[in-house]
Amino acid sequence: MSVAALMLMVLLPVIEMVTRTLHLRGVPASPVLVQQLTLWVGLLGAALASRSGRLLALSSSTFLPERIRPWVSVFTGFILAAVSACLAYASQTFVQSEREAGSALLPGLPKWWFILVMPVGFGVIAARAVWLAGRWKARALAALGLFVPVALGYWIPPGQPTVFWIAVVVMFAVALLGLPIFAVFGGFALLLFWNASTPVALVPVEMYRLVASPLLPSIPLFTLAGYFMVQGGATKRLLRVFTALFSWMPGGLALVTVLICAMFTWAGSGLTILSIGGLLVPVLVRTRYPEKFSIGLVTSSGSLGLLFPTSVPTILYCVYSQTPIDQLFIGGLLPLLLMVSLVAAMGIYKGLKCDAVRDRFSPREAAGALWEAKWELLIPAVMVVGIFGGFGTLTEAAALTAFIALIVEAFVYRDLKLVRDYDQVFVECATIVGGVLLIMGVALGFTNYLVNAEIPARIIDWVQANVHSKLLFLFVLNIALLVVGALMDVFAAILVVVPLLKPLGALYGIHPVQMGIIFIANLELGYLHPPVGINLFLAAYRFKKPMTYLMWATLPFLGILFGSVLLITYLPWLTEAPLRWFGK
Tell me: pLDDT of 334 over 90. yes
Name the 3-class secondary structure at 21.
helix
Confidence band, pLDDT 50/70/90 cuts, at residue 270 = low
Alpha carbon of residue 345 to chain centroid: 28
Please name every residue paired with 110 in a beta bridge, in sequence order, or none if there are none.
104
Please state the pTM of the whole predicted model.
Answer: 0.82
Backbone angles phi, psi at 133, to 5 degrees: -70, -20
Low-confidence winner among 52-66, 233-247, 379-393 (lowest mean pLDDT): 52-66
Point out which residues pair with 180 in neighbouring strands.
57
Q: Could you tell me which residues are beta bridge partners of residue 104?
A: 110
| pLDDT computed for residue 61 by the predictor | 57
DSSP character for 155? I
Which one, of 569, 479, 553, 580, lies nearest residue 521 by Cα? 569
575 vs 56 pLDDT, higher one: 575
- What's the CA angle centered on 561, arms 285 and 357, to 5 degrees? 20
**For residue 352, pLDDT beyond 90:** no
Going by C-alpha positions, the residue among 87, 147, 54 that lies closest to residue 434 is: 54
Tell me if 296 sits within 8 A of 283, measured CB to CB.
no
According to the model, what pLDDT value does residue 367 have?
93
pLDDT of residue 120: 92
The pLDDT tens digits for 5-29 are 888 888 888 888 888 877 777 777 7
Contact 171, 82 (CB under 8 A): no
Please give the pLDDT value at position 219.
81
Give the C-alpha separation, 532 to 433, whole Å. 19
Which residues make Cβ contacts (< 8 Å) with residue 166, sequence separation at least 6?
A: none
pLDDT at 377 over 70: yes
User: Which of 128-137, 380-389, 498-507 shows the lowest mean pLDDT across its residues?
Assistant: 380-389
Nearest CA to 441 out of 194, 119, 208, 190 is that of: 208
**Residues 266-281, mean pLDDT to the nearest whole number:** 69
Higher pLDDT, 423 or 100: 100
pLDDT reading at 485 higher than 80? no
What's the pLDDT at 164? Answer: 85
Question: What is the mean pLDDT of the segment spanning 542-550?
Answer: 79
Contact 379, 225 (CB under 8 A): yes
b/e 97-113 (16+ beta carbons within 10 angstroms → b): ebeeeeeebeeeebbbe
Mean pLDDT of 302-318: 79
Q: Choose from 309-323, 379-393, 512-526 the range with maximum mean pLDDT.
A: 512-526
Lowest mean pLDDT among 89-98, 191-200, 223-232, 415-424: 415-424
The pLDDT confidence band at residue 439, using thresholds 50, 70 and 90, is confident
> What span, in angstroms and rounded, lies between the C-alpha atoms of 502 and 188?
23
- 8 A C-beta contact, residue 293 and residue 322: no
Q: How would residue 59 be classed by pLDDT, with cut points 50, 70 and 90?
A: low
What pLDDT is recorded for position 153?
65
Q: How far apart are CA 241 and CA 10, in angstroms?
A: 29
Which pLDDT score is estimated for 563? 92
In this prediction, residue 390 carries a pLDDT of 65
For residue 11, what are the contacts with CB-CB under 8 A and spacing of at least 6? Answer: 399, 403
Q: What is the pLDDT of residues 24-44, one digit of tens each?
A: 777 777 888 888 888 888 888
Per-residue pLDDT, 154: 59
Coil, helix or strand for 432? helix
Residues 1, 116: Cα–Cα separation, whole Å: 14
pLDDT over 70 percentage in the chain = 93
* AA letter at 562: F
Do 443 and 492 contact (CB within 8 A), yes or no? yes
For the chain, the first-to-last Cα distance in angstroms comes to 42
More confident residue, 30 or 53: 30
The pLDDT value recorded for residue 335 is 93
- DSSP string across 287-318: TT--HHHHHHHHHHHTTGGGGSTTSHHHHHHH
Decide: residue 20, CB within 10 A, 0-12 exposed, 13-18 middle, 19+ buried. middle
What pLDDT, on a 0 to 100 scale, did the predictor assign at position 371?
A: 93
- Specify the DSSP element, H or E, that contains 110: strand 109-110
Dist CA 48 CA 71 (whole Å): 24
* Contact yes or no for 34/13 (Cβ under 8 A): yes
Kindly indicate the confidence band of residue 307, based on its pLDDT and cuts at 50, 70 and 90: confident
The closest of 523, 531, 570, 565 to 548, measured between CA atoms, is 531
Q: Tell me the one-letter amino acid at 62.
A: T
Measured in degrees and rounded to the nearest 5, phi and psi for residue 104 equal -135, 145
Can you give the C-alpha Rg of the chain in angstroms? 24
Closest CA to 289 of 315, 267, 257: 257
Of 510, 504, 505, 493, residue with least CA distance to 462: 504
Of the pLDDT bands very low, low, confident and very high (cuts 50, 70, 90), residue 267 is: low
Q: Average pLDDT for residues 465-485, to the nearest whole number?
A: 84
Task: Give 503's Cβ-side CA count (13 Å radius).
Answer: 14
Residue 142 · residue 130 · CB < 8 Å: yes
Cis peptide before 531 (omega within 30 of 0): yes
What mean pLDDT do residues 194-217 have? 81
* pLDDT value of residue 104: 81
CB 518 within 8 A of CB 477: yes
| Strand 109-110 relative to strand 104-106, pairing | antiparallel
Measured over the CA atoms of residue 396, residue 397, residue 402 and residue 408, the dihedral's sign is positive
Confidence of residue 4 (pLDDT cuts 50, 70, 90): confident
pLDDT band at 372 (very low <50, low <70, confident <90, very high): very high
Residue 493 CA to residue 440 CA, distance in Å, equals 9
DSSP assignment letter at 579: H
Contact in structure between 55 and 435 (CB atoms under 8 Å)? yes
Q: How far is CA 498 from the centre of its chain?
A: 15
The confidence score (pLDDT) of residue 351 equals: 87
Reported as a pLDDT band with limits 50, 70 and 90, residue 190 is confident
Angle at 100 between CA 95 and CA 106, to 5 degrees: 75
Q: Which element (helix H / strand E) includes 106? A: strand 104-106
Q: What is the mean pLDDT of the chain?
A: 83
Q: What does the domain layout of the chain look like in residue ranges?
A: 55-212, 219-581
In this predicted model, what pLDDT tens digit does every residue of 126-180 receive, in sequence order? 999 898 888 888 888 888 888 887 777 656 777 778 888 888 898 888 888 878 8
Long-range contact list for 389-395, CB < 8 A, 24+ apart? 391/17, 392/13, 392/16, 392/17, 392/20, 393/13, 393/31, 393/214, 394/214, 394/215, 394/218, 394/315, 394/325, 395/13, 395/31, 395/34, 395/214, 395/215, 395/217, 395/218, 395/221
